[in-house]
Structure 1
Amino acid sequence: MRVVIAQCQVDYAGRLTAHLPMATRLILVKADGSVSIHADDRAYKPLNWMSPPCTLTIREPREDEAAAVAEVDAQLSQVWVVEAKSGDTLQISIGEVFHDSTHELGVDPGLVKDGVEAHLQALLAEHPATLKAGLTLVQREYLTPIGPVDLLCRDVTGAYVAVEVKRRGEIDGVEQLTRYLELMNRDPLLGSVQGVFAAQQIKPQARTLATDRGIACVVVDYDALRGMDSADDRLF
């Protein structure tokens, strides 16, 4: 991972456009190729970012770019251009650099699921049709180069379906499943892989992001799966 603290101006161009004026920020370049820009607030959420697969090119600033930031008393040292496969671009105009270091973090063991989440995954592996009629399990913890997908299933047409299971469904979980799907859909042995985001609760923002990316959301009744919520015991 490369960690840079520097003055920077950020311009995003693609389906949407966004501009961050010159200010001191943290820039992270991760081993998977992702680039994100952070302010000293907002907890973990970056101001802007580019997810892999993408390419980073570093070049000298053009005269017009240098002149534009000179108006705000800044002097450009480099221009980073990050381009996604879709053609979207993230341009980071670097001014004064205060810190620049690279660190080898190694392979992360991944998040250890709590008891409920692990049990929920096991129950869904036994009853995959709970998520979608006709769904059958192929493998639990299907390994990808960036981590294991909770469940790999097949639907009635034979197409593969990747399922990410969470106790509480948030944006991070959708981003995680998106990264898995990007890699899996490039595997000719799998073909076109669909995504299902399953959780006991799914936050509205996570549902919106998942829907925008073509990922199905399923709210799972944990007690019903455990057999504790029998329809015969209900009054209504």
Structure 2
Amino acid sequence: MTPVSHVVLTPVRVVIAKCQVDYAGRLSAHLPLAMRVLMIKADGSVLVHSDGGSYKPLNWMSPPCSMRIDDPSAIQVEAGFSEIWTVRQKKTDDTLVISIAEVVTEIEQELGTDPGLVKDGVEAHLQELLAEHIDTLGDGYTTVRREYMTAIGPVDILARDSAGSSIAVEIKRRGGIDGVEQLTRYLELMNRDATLAPVTGVFAAQEIKPQARTLAEDRGIRCVVLDYDALRGMDDPETRLF
């Protein structure tokens, strides 16, 4: 690589190099010379990984930050370094200095627009199954549509009960407080729509945490525990021995 002295803006760049890393700011940290994986993301963040430690980087700098690649000083050349990366955090002025001794390999790749996180397969299948068997929630229930879009995101299922009232159903594998808060926001918004109001909520999950159940019931949201195997037709009560 040819050393330069300006802000570097690139696609995702992965470098395997023997390097030393020094962090200075609210705290100081030093990583001695060793072989590591360096990742420079398009959003400006820089991460330093080793071969161990699971998915967590040994050190990193979050955006907004700038990066310079400079020629080493005479002392750094004597120490065996070929170039110096200086990453500076623009908000805090913290610095991450990566001293490169040897670059083994590097690649650059434009990743394009990320489609975002896709729902867990079981959770998505639960939504599909419950929409098909909406009477699990009560006699006379009908499905209006799945993924009913609101201004703040899609409600898993919009249904109607036997009286024709609107029901917003939020589905999780494990129901926690965050899921109840999410459904609460949907209900507040949907109840402003005269064509839907009044809208009540159902929080449906394979497992609902006690704190989430307490919060949901306090807000008038009904909790329903879903049996995945029963919805799939694998659990036939007539075939049970007990």
- TM-score band by shorter chain is 0.5 to 0.7
1-structure distance, mates of 2:213, 2:116:
23
TM alignment of 1:101-140, pairs within 5 A: 111-140=117-146
Q: Give the equivalent residue in structure 1 for 2:176.
A: 170
Amino acid across the alignment from 1:168 = R
TM-score by length of 1: 0.53
Please list the CA deviations of residues 5-54 of structure 1 after superposition, one character each: whole Å capped at 9, or x if unmatched.
xxxxxxxxxxxxxxxxxxxxxxxxxxxxxxxxxxxxxxxxxxxxxxxxxx
The correspondence for 2:215, drawn from 209, 218, 222, is 209
Structure 2: stretches of 5+ with no match in the other structure: 1-90, 93-113
The whole-number CA distance in structure 1 between the counterparts of 2:229 and 2:186 is 28
What residue in structure 2 maps to residue 143 of structure 1? Answer: 149
Secondary structure at the residue paired with 1:178?
Answer: helix
Pick the structure with greater CA Rg.
2
Q: Quick one: structure 1 residues 111 and 182, their matched pair in 2 at CA, closer, same or farther if it must change by over 3 Å?
A: farther
Question: What residue ranges of structure 1 are gaps of 5+ in the alignment?
Answer: 1-97, 100-107
- Tell me the secondary structure at the aligned position of residue 156 of structure 1: coil
Looking at structure 2, the residues matched to 157 and 110 of structure 1 have their Cα atoms a distance apart, in angstroms, of: 38
1:131/1:111 Cα in 2 relative to 1: closer, same or farther (>3 Å)? farther
Tell me the residue number matched to 1:152: 158
Query: How far apart are 1:109 and its partner, in Å?
Result: 7.0
- Comparing 111-120 with 169-178, greater Cα deviation is found at 111-120
Query: Sequence identity, in percent?
Result: 74
2:190 aligned to which of 181, 184, 200: 184
Amino acid at match of 2:213: R
Q: Structure 2: how far apart are the matches of 1:189 and 1:109?
A: 32
Letter in 2 for 1:233: T
Aligned residues: 131
In the alignment, what sits opposite 1:227? 233
Q: CA RMSD in A?
A: 1.8
- Secondary structure at the aligned position of 1:133 is classed as coil
SS at 2:119 equivalent: coil
- TM-score, with normalisation over the residues of structure 2? 0.52
8 Å Cα contact 1:164/1:177 also seen in 2: yes
Structure 1 ranges of 4+ moved more than 6 A: none
1:200 aligned counterpart, secondary structure: strand
> Secondary structure of 1:134's match?
coil
The residue identity in structure 1 corresponding to 2:164 is G
- Give me the whole-angstrom Cα distance separating, in 2, the residues matched to 1:191 and 1:220: 26
Q: Distance in 2 between matches of 1:147 and 1:174?
A: 15
